[in-house]
A and B are shown apart, each in its own frame.
Chain A
């Protein structure tokens, strides 16, 4: 137990990196997701096929390969990103692809008559999309997007594989120093479980907050 007392401060240090990664990537990912979902549903042929290609590419390849391409591959083209920035770019792009698919599903479930009704009331197309479709789409996709956010928190552990010392990375270092692999990784896992549980609670209460009765 005493070794745990020594390990915990360092694990919390790693956890703050994990949290920073998640807090930066979640909003960027969501923004990308919203843009891509709208582009794919309402864009012209070029925009919607671009959005489709982006989704297929990022949902069809492992996040780890994307991370390697961004971290190890891009410097060949003169674009050198720090591990932290590469991790955020990879996580945002990947979760953006998943978010966009859930958001698109939500758009499909909104009747097209609503858009026509908005236009009939004199709204412009963009205005109708932003103030009629967007709020409903976000509410409908929230449960699926919450799942994706929780996934992102767990998958942020991959950042350790591009030399970032996050929660998993600290765990690995401590385990190698103390040779207590099982205990250390169990504690690391439980800390992630705690993070995920808190995130779930927060997202669930957000769902209740924005819930529209009858929708």
Chain B
């Protein structure tokens, strides 16, 4: 295949691939959302929970961080789907598997930043007459969430790359669409490299958005902590 042929093919495939990219973005947004709304309470349990609550949270953490993403996905899609009366759409299965998994990882991020904000602030807030939940809600959590943004940017890029697994249960996202086009045109390298380029752009655009959020919410006088990186 000549260079111009490849170029024409890329241009003709782009609309399909970009539609797939939209589905990928929808997957990421819902997975991160599930992870956020479950991860924050989990982190609070990790830090402030009663001992039996901590125990339950630790088991959740073990399972969702110890199982490979692909096995979790199969467990939810084929496993739950095989139970009588339960039927999950592929999209929902991916959101559950990757969302619950992200919750375990996000809980670790928030736990770290809650601990970084420190005991002193809790004591100060309580000495001003705030109750413990009140202090957590209006003093510790806002700061902790700001400190979590670098970790969250990492989590975004991880979830983005894990959504590629959705093709294994039949969600027609970016990679599956690439695979369909390859099956028709046999242009493996051209198409997969285009797909890779779209993922690359999505990764760095998202990281940029998180970086801007971090700047917007920065607290004057509070130094930014060193960024940790994790896949």
Q: Give the CA-CA distance A74 to B67 in the complex, in Å.
A: 31
Residue in A61, A77, A185 whose CB lies within 8 Å of B78: A185
The interface stretch among B41-49, B128-136, B188-196 is: B188-196
Question: Smallest distance from the beta carbon of B147 to chain A beta carbons, Å?
Answer: 18
**Which residues from chain A contact B209 at a C-beta distance below 8 Å?**
none
Contact with A along B195-213 (1 / 0, CB 8 A): 1100110011000000000
With A57-B200, A60-B200, A189-B63 already in contact, the answer to whether A68 and B78 are too (CB < 8 A) is: no
Would you give the 0/1 interface string for B81-98, flagging 1 where the beta carbon is closer than 8 Å to chain A?
111000000000000000
Give min CB distance, B21 to chain A, whole Å: 13
Are B75 and A69 in contact, with the CB atoms below 8 A? no
Q: Which of A61, A74, A193 has the most CB of B within 10 A?
A: A61
Q: Does B142 sit at the interface, judged by CB under 8 A?
A: no
Determine if A171 and B74 form an interchain contact, defined as CB atoms under 8 angstroms apart: yes
Contacts of A186 in B (CB 8 A): 75, 79
Chain B: residues with Cβ within 8 Å of the partner, total of: 42
For A, the interface residue count at a CB cutoff of 8 angstroms equals 49
Residue numbers in B under 8 Å from A42 (CB-CB): none
User: Which residue of B is nearest A160, CB measured?
Assistant: B70
Asked whether A189 lies within 8 Å of B175 as measured between CB atoms, the reply is no
| B204→A60 contact, CB < 8 A | yes
Interface stretch of the complex, out of B11-19, B31-39, B119-127, B161-169: B161-169
Instruction: State whether the Cβ of B223 lies closer than 8 Å to any Cβ in chain A.
Output: no
Q: Decide: A147 near B230, CB < 8 A? Known: A62-B199, A179-B82, A188-B71.
A: yes
The 5 closest A-B pairs by CB, nearest first: A182-B79, A62-B164, A193-B66, A181-B78, A62-B161
20 example contacts (A-B, Cβ-Cβ < 8 A) are as follows: A61-B161, A61-B200, A63-B164, A64-B165, A73-B189, A73-B193, A76-B189, A102-B229, A144-B229, A157-B68, A158-B70, A168-B71, A168-B74, A171-B71, A181-B78, A182-B80, A185-B74, A189-B63, A189-B67, A189-B72
Interface residues of B (CB under 8 A from A): 62-63, 66-72, 74-75, 78-83, 157, 160-165, 167-168, 175, 179, 182, 188-189, 192-193, 195-196, 199-200, 203-204, 229-231
Binding site for B on A (CB under 8 A): 56-57, 59-66, 68-69, 72-77, 98, 101-102, 105, 144, 147-148, 151, 154-158, 160-161, 168, 171-172, 175, 179-182, 185-186, 188-189, 192-193, 196-197
